[in-house]
Amino acid sequence: MKTLQRIALLTVALFTFGNVHAQKLKSFGSSIEKKIGFVKKKVPYTDVVSYLGYAAPNTEDEVKNGKKFYYIYVWVPVVAPELGLRMMSPAKKVKAKNPIKGKNYDANASSDDFFDTYITLERSDVITKKGIKNAADANWTVLARNDDSSEMPKQPSGSSYNSLLRYKSKTGSPTKALTRGLYRVGFTTFKRGEVKGTFIAQIGSPVKLPGVVMAKTVDELIAHM
């Protein structure tokens, strides 16, 4: 009997240890906090758009400061008071409502590969749908960036290397306000090297933003608008 009990306890311990670093996304909380009893909790974004993708080595969009950057383009149709952005890798088994999927995501969805996410939220000077086709000549402003966030689930390695940022519109600055227009999510790794693995990127807003579109390329973005 004691032997059976030891086996059972060991099985539970192994199962628990194996799932300590299992990634599970909670609701995406905004910067607005609400007191519930004696605890303050972040009010979830009312509008969240999800993108599932796979970053393959040597397919980067740009090398910047020695790092290989990938971009996801986003069309935001109306003015927003705040935008939240978070990224988690890997995206294996993650659940998201009506996610947009990159072309090579399904073929790599079961991959165990992941990377140390580093994200940027960038805004262009393109403010009309017609102007999107000229995105190659757009000027980009980095609104916010993040490397590691303790609010995000730990990666399978046990490290808190997933990313999250929140950005409030700066109405007094023409380049830092969250206006209608073309945005992009930039991502890479903290260390220089290859970016490889599945990921989920989510953009959240405290107000409904009907018509938000996310795509890996400008051409795909135009095709889905």
Identify the pLDDT of residue 154.
Answer: 95
Residues forming beta bridges with residue 72, ordered by sequence position: 185
Alpha-carbon gap, residue 214 to 184, rounded angstroms: 9
DSSP 225: -
Residue ranges of domains in the chain: 21-223
Identify the pLDDT of residue 122.
Answer: 97
Alpha-carbon gap, residue 85 to 12, rounded angstroms: 36
Q: pLDDT digit of tens for each residue in the chain (225 aa)? A: 444 444 343 333 333 333 444 467 899 999 988 888 778 889 999 999 999 999 999 999 999 999 999 999 999 999 999 999 999 999 988 989 999 999 999 999 999 999 999 999 999 999 999 999 999 999 999 999 999 999 999 999 999 999 999 999 988 788 899 999 999 999 999 888 899 999 999 999 999 999 999 999 999 999 988
Alpha-carbon gap, residue 58 to 200, rounded angstroms: 20
Other beta carbons less than 10 A from residue 191's beta carbon: 9
The residues, any chain, with a CB within 8 Å of residue 127's CB and separated by 6 or more, are 179, 180, 181, 182
Q: Is the peptide bond before 90 cis (omega within 30 degrees of 0)?
A: yes
Identify the pLDDT of residue 24.
Answer: 77
Identify the pLDDT of residue 23.
Answer: 62
Structure tokens at 48: 């969240």
- Residue 87 in 3-state DSSP? strand
The CATH T-level fold of domain 21-223 is: Jelly Rolls (2.60.120)
